[in-house]
């Protein structure tokens, strides 16, 4: 189950009257750079001058 479906399921659990009345028109997913402690990596890579991480 993707995050979109999990979110809709949680909303319906909280507000049962929304079942079959809400949906996601679109959703976006992407990889984000994180290190082992869950914090994002922000900055440039010295070996790759044309790339940046946010």
DSSP state, 25?
Answer: S
- Is residue 26's pLDDT more than 70? yes
- Is residue 28's pLDDT more than 90? no
The reported pTM is: 0.49
Q: Using CA atoms, how far apart are residues 24 and 15, in angstroms rounded to an integer?
A: 16
- Is residue 8's pLDDT more than 80? yes
Averaged pLDDT, 22-43: 70
DSSP state, 7?
Answer: H
């Amino acid at each position: 189950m993707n995050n979109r479906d999990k979110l809709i399921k949680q909303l319906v659990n909280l507000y049962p009257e929304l079942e079959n009345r809400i949906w996601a028109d679109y959703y976006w997913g992407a990889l984000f750079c994180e290190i082992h402690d869950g914090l994002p990596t922000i900055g440039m890579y010295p070996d790759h001058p044309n790339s940046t991480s946010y």
